Structures are given as C-alpha cells and as structure tokens.
Amino acid sequence: MISRSKQIQNADRPTVNTVPIDIGDGIFVGGSQVIMMAGPCSVESYEQTRKSAEAVAAVGGRVLRGGAYKPRTSPDTFQGLGRPGLEILRKVADEFNLLVVTEALAVEHVPIVAEMADIIQIGSRNMQHYPLLWAAGEIDKPVLLKRGYMATISEWLAAAAHIERRGNQRILLCERGIRTFDPATRNTMDTNAIALAKQISPFPVIADPSHATGQSNLVIPVARAAVAAGADGLLVEFHPDPKSALSDGHQSLPLTTLSTFYTEVAPIAAACHRELI
C-alpha cells in the first residue's frame, strides 16, 4: 500500500524531461514521434513472421515485435521456437528494413538476443528477476522493461535502476496492464502509470494495449488512451490469422487492420503534437 506521504512526494517532485533514446537506424523513442512496435505475440514460422514484417513495413512501421522465448502460464502450451525464431525475426526484419524487439526470458538468452535483436524485452513476469536485469544492464542494446502485472510504479522504476546501475542507460519502460479486482478484461491499462512515469522518470514510456486488455476489440481505443496519456510508443500484437495463432490470438489484431490502427491512433498523436510512425 503506497502511503499518502509518498503520493504527496510524487506530486511535489519537479517534472523530469524524457530523454530520447536512440534505438538504431536514426530512430529515437521519447522525442516527437510515437514509435509503433508491431508483430505477432510469438514467432511461429518463417511465413507468418515474414507476412507480419511485410505488413508492418507497408504502413511505414519501423519496429517488428515477436517472441522466440515465450513466458507461457502453462507448460502445455506453445513455448516458442527459441533460437530459430530469433533467426527468422532477423532475416525478415532485414528484408524490410525493420528493427526487432524480442524477449530474453533467461540470463543465458541475453547474449544471443543482444546479438540478433535491436531491443531486448524483459517480460512482466521477470521484472524483478535481478540477475536478468543485471545482465541486460551490461549490454549495449536498448532494453524494454515491462512493468510486472502486480508491481507498483516505484518497484518498476527501481527495477529500471538495477539495469541503469550496471551501465545501460537505454531503458524503455513499458506499461502492459496490471491485475485488478475486475476479471472483465485480462488486465487493466494503468494510464496513471504512463502519465506519472513520464513525469518522474527520464526514460521513455511504451504502452502495450494488447496485454493490457486481452481482447482485440479494445486494443485500438486503449492505444488511443495511452497515446493521449503521453506514451512514447506502442507495442501491439498483430497476426496474419489471429484465430490460428499459437499464443494470444484473442488479443491479436489481423494484419489487415494495421492501416485502420494508424488511421485511428495517429490523430491522437497529432493532437499531442506528435507523429505516429
């Protein structure tokens, strides 16, 4: 339980300016552009990932997401392709001139993910896996740190400090929804956290409306809310055929809706004097 005095402390803190982070290819997160990171939950095959990359590039997107090492709740479900998945991601991203964000699930994945990807994702369940944070702190690649779904904002920022303390300053915070009392949606997008993290931390903030909602019909409206709250980027799940997806199909949008996504979300970015790319 956060104390009232802590809340007052937050309210009294001077606003910190976001320091834009270079993620490669001249792209900065935390500046005037809102950066879209789109793609499947999991890399399932070369064809599925290539179709995704092609569609992301076709709408002007610059970053492809996709998991090769998957943190699955049940061991009976698809666990990811592992290293061959990383190879698929790199190959199709290079073909369409995209950057790659993908998860390192364990300390031993960090070197290979750092070699094959442009941004290393640390998942919600691993937000307080300190040896993983330390390993990510020692590499020269940006790290996207998802907020634990039961972590407070201060615990999330403290986890980021563990990465920073080891020397890596390129940290992207990612709000991906927290568990609340209401089971009506998978999680709840904490737009307060987006706005507050932007004010009290120099790190850019990404929002993930896919995991925050758990249902594809809510992804666009919640992405709009996140951008309005100040998000510097969006991490969104798309799939060529969500019904056949091996993970998170119910929250994945079909690739055919990528242009609608931009049409719906870009005006919110524009209203905040920003451009969605």
Contacts of ligand PEP in 32-61 (CB under 6 A)? 41
Choose among 198, 205, 204, 223: nearest CA to 213. 223
Which residues are CB-neighbours of 144 under 8 A, at least 6 positions away? 101, 119, 120, 121, 122, 172, 174, 206, 235
- ∠ CA 134-138-140, rounded to 5°: 135
The nearer residue to ligand PEP, 162 or 211, going by C-beta atoms, is 211
The nearer residue to ligand PEP, 146 or 198, going by C-beta atoms, is 146
H or E element at residue 263: helix 258-271
> Exposed (0-12), middle (13-18) or buried (19+): which is 57, by Cβ within 10 Å?
middle
**Residue 103 binds to Mn ion (criterion: CB under 5 A):** no
**Residue 211 binds to ligand PEP (criterion: CB under 6 A):** yes
Query: Which one of Mn ion, ligand PEP, none interacts with residue 251, CB within 5 to 8 A by kind?
Result: none
CB 258 within 8 A of CB 240: no
Q: How far is the CB of 101 from ligand PEP (least distance, A)?
A: 9
Contacts of Mn ion in 27-66 (CB under 5 A)? 41
Neighbours of 140 (CB within 10 A): 8
**Residue 176 binds to ligand PEP (criterion: CB under 6 A):** yes
Of 122-130, 214-222, 225-233, 255-263, the window that binds ligand PEP (rule: CB under 6 A) is: 122-130
Choose among 155, 160, 226: nearest CA to 187. 226
**Count, residues near ligand PEP per rule CB under 6 A:** 9
Of 22-30, 121-129, 220-228, 260-268, the window that binds ligand PEP (rule: CB under 6 A) is: 121-129
Positions in the binding site for ligand PEP (CB under 6 A): 41, 67, 71, 123-125, 146, 176, 211
